[in-house]
Amino acid sequence: MDAKALLFIQQGVGDNIFPRIMRTSKAKEAWDILQQEFQGDKGTRSVKLQALRRELENMKMKENETLNEFSSRFMELVNQMKSYGEEISDKRIVEKLLISLPDKFDPIVAVIKETKYLSLLNVQELFGSLKTYE
């Protein structure tokens, strides 16, 4: 790799990780090192993913939380799950979001369930409808 590429990589991964990958000659080798560093081995990833699944199942919007705060927290969790290899459909995300909302959203949830095909509704459309209601 040339000096510019090495500097770019160093800035992206930080000074504490860069020495571990700077001597690799192939992108795959560097990727494997980064994956091990940030996600651990398969057993560690499996345990982490199970904990994230449990957290998703138990997630509820708090009464004093705004929809933006909740959506950020929710989507951060979903993205973490995806980074560990979880395949999660929009339909599952939409269904989980709808049951995670507090009672004050019951009227709009009922309307969404009656007027929209949940299997075709994507997450952005759902949040748009919910934000309009909020």
Q: Are residues 67 and 78 in the same domain?
A: yes
pLDDT in tens, 76-118: 999 999 988 889 888 889 889 999 999 988 998 888 888 876 6
Q: What would the pLDDT profile of 19-37 be if each residue is shown by its tens digit? A: 666 667 677 777 777 666 6
Range of the domain at 19: 3-39
- The number of helices, as runs of H, and strands, as runs of E, in the chain is 8, 0
Rounded to the nearest 10 degrees, what angle do helices 90-100 and 123-133 cross at? 20
Q: Could you tell me if 103 and 73 lie in one domain? A: yes
Which residue is listed with tokens 């081995």? Answer: 41
* Total-model pTM: 0.63
Q: Are residues 54 and 11 in the same domain?
A: no
Q: Do 33 and 78 fall within a single domain?
A: no
Statement to judge: residues 46 and 13 lie in one domain: no
